[in-house]
Structure 1
Amino acid sequence: MICYFGILDSVNDVWGVRVPDLPGCHGGGASPDEAIADATSATREWVEARIAKHLPMPNPSTVADLLRSGEIDSSGGESAVIVRHR
């Protein structure tokens, strides 16, 4: 099973998770758990659409890759979460 990392953040009590390796894939909710669950659902749909089109899956980044690239703003309160698609 391939696992991707999502980036969890919050603004004004609204939580979001974006999945950098899957362009356009994100989720949101009123709590971190809701945002992660929504991102998990979005990831599942993203993967299913990709498979249906017979396209290869992107290689997942490591947390170190995401930190090195500046994708995670830990000083701004962002953190990495695992987003499973199956």
Structure 2
Amino acid sequence: MRTFVGILDGRADVWGVRVPDAPGCYGGGATAEEAVASAVEALADLLQDDDYVRATPLNPTPIEALRERPDIKAGLAAGDVLVLLSAPGDAGRNDRTPIAAE
């Protein structure tokens, strides 16, 4: 099972999650929880798309390395939150989808 890092941002009733290691993978919702669930669903869809997987190397970057990227550091300083995402259908995945906020 691969675990990807998502970046959660938003406020009030507009939330979004982007996944830096999966280009084009975004989630959104009226709450942070909805945005994370939407991102997990989008990630699952991308991981099941053979053309996308062949064209896009999907190697999750460790959270520690992402924290050091200047763009992500700036977002964290502005209030973004890192979340861990595992997608249903990913090779070797179990039936639970762990999600953790930092």
Q: TM-score, normalised by structure 1?
A: 0.87
The amino acid that maps onto 2:84 is I
Contact kept? 2:13, 2:29, Cα under 8 Å: no
Taking the aligned partners of 2:58 and 2:46, their CA distance within structure 1 comes to: 11
Taking the aligned partners of 1:28 and 1:65, their CA distance within structure 2 comes to: 25
Unaligned runs of at least 5 residues, structure 1: none
Taking the aligned partners of 1:85 and 1:67, their CA distance within structure 2 comes to: 22
Structure with greater strand percent: 1
2:48 is paired with a residue whose SS is: helix
Taking the aligned partners of 2:71 and 2:42, their CA distance within structure 1 comes to: 19
Taking the aligned partners of 1:18 and 1:67, their CA distance within structure 2 comes to: 15
The amino acid that maps onto 2:80 is E
- Higher RCO by CA contacts (8 Å cutoff, separation 6 or greater): 1
2:82 aligned residue: 80
Q: TM-score, normalised by structure 2?
A: 0.74
1:2 is paired with a residue whose SS is: coil
2:36 aligned residue: 36
2:67 aligned residue: 67
Confirm whether residue 58 of structure 1 aligns to residue 58 of structure 2: yes
The amino acid that maps onto 1:75 is A
The sequence identity of aligned pairs, in percent, is: 38
Count of residue correspondences:
84
Contact kept? 1:9, 1:79, Cα under 8 Å: yes
2:100 aligned residue: none
| RMSD after superposition | 1.6
Q: Please report how far the alpha carbon of residue 12 of structure 1 lies from its aligned counterpart in structure 2 after TM superposition.
A: 5.5
Contact kept? 1:47, 1:57, Cα under 8 Å: no
